[in-house]
Amino acid sequence: MFIKDHHLIAIASSRNIETGSLHYLGGGRAESDGITYSFHKNDQKMVLKILKTSDNNDDLLRSEDRMKFAQYLHHNGVKIICPIQEESLQIHYLDDMKLFSYIMPFQRGKPIFNRLWDARIYEKLGIFLGRMHCLAKQYTCRNEHLFGWQKEWKFLASLCEDNEILQKWHEIKSTLKSKSRNRENFGFIHNDAHFQNFLVYQDELFLLDFDVSNYHWFAADIGIVFASMMQKTGGFINPVREFKMLENFTEKFWYGYHSTNPDSPELQQSEIDFFINYRRVLIYIILKEYWQEKPESGEKMRKKIINLNIKKEEVK
């Protein structure tokens, strides 16, 4: 999303932030859910995030529930970069736009994509997700009826202009409708746990950006992690290049995951593969402008999706 200068000035003013202290951090692209800026206040470095929303009050309720979920994980020992409770979610009506903003602490660190040469990270990722999913089994959000994979599916279907890709998205929907759900395999998840949303600082992992958290299968989170790894090793778009690295990652990740989520049912590789495919189609739909800038990669991704045998996936 793009934000105009006078909108940024108005939002900063409403939060008593010096406009001159704001420094762009990330986001603001067509596919981004928002835009972030760092700033200093009371000798502390913080982050302002601004998101576009609709006139529907449901968007605000969902955002509040996502913030509460992040805070719940944080209070239970998971290293989450979550909104500061004292700085409430604010709505801003500016020209013809409705925006909202929140503030969170700034966390030093580097995206773990830069540390994948360190195999210790693999087990740490498993430990992190296992702990998060174990806590999610005990969590119920206030407005559960406003969430669900069906809403995510419907939104992405509305964005898809490619009939063959849309057909694959429909096949995914059919598979999900037949998939079992229970407290052990389904709950409130981060839903965007790719490697740019994990920071590593002094050998500790930190997770940020809960803005698309949703009720979904825990395997969907795991599929996102594996899809991110396959962008390093190959296998997501292009053929696998680093077989040993991927095998090592798989072994260490699952060891860590089951160490903090021991009651989790064993997942078949076919189920993880299904959610990797879910991620492929989702990414293809969302990154429409990116593929236009990189048509060769876009065509490779499209062919990979068109050739998927999603109907034959055996997902229990």
Q: What is the pTM of this model?
A: 0.93
CATH 3.30.200.20 for the 5-105 domain, yes or no: yes
Mean pLDDT of 242-249: 96
pLDDT in tens, 63-73: 999 999 999 99
DSSP string, 144-200: GGG--HHHHHHHHHHH---HHHHHHHHHHHHHHHTS---TTTEEEE-S---TTSEEE
In angstroms, rounded to a whole number, what is the distance separating the alpha carbons of residues 252 and 232?
16
Q: Where residue 315 falls among pLDDT bands split at 50, 70, 90?
A: very low
Q: Where residue 86 falls among pLDDT bands split at 50, 70, 90?
A: low
Q: Where residue 152 falls among pLDDT bands split at 50, 70, 90?
A: very high
What are the boundaries of each domain within the chain?
A: 5-105, 110-312
pLDDT in tens, 154-176: 999 999 999 999 999 999 999 99
Answer whether 190's CB lies under 8 Å from 128's CB: no
Query: Which fold is adopted by the domain 110-312?
Result: Aminoglycoside 3'-phosphotransferase; Chain: A, domain 2 (3.90.1200)
Cβ atoms < 10 Å from Cβ of 202: 6
| pLDDT value at residue 265 | 87
In angstroms, rounded to a whole number, what is the distance separating the alpha carbons of residues 226 and 246?
9
Q: Is the pLDDT of residue 9 over 80?
A: yes
Cβ atoms < 10 Å from Cβ of 6: 10
| pLDDT value at residue 183 | 93
What is the pLDDT of the chain when averaged over all its residues? 92
In angstroms, rounded to a whole number, what is the distance separating the alpha carbons of residues 111 and 114?
6
In angstroms, rounded to a whole number, what is the distance separating the alpha carbons of residues 150 and 215?
10
Q: State whether the Cα torsion 301-306-308-313 is positive or negative.
A: positive
Q: Could you tell me how many helices (H) and strands (E) the chain has, helices first? A: 10, 10
Instruction: Please give the distance of CA 1 from its chain centroid, rounded to a whole number.
Output: 17
Q: Is the pLDDT of residue 299 over 90?
A: yes
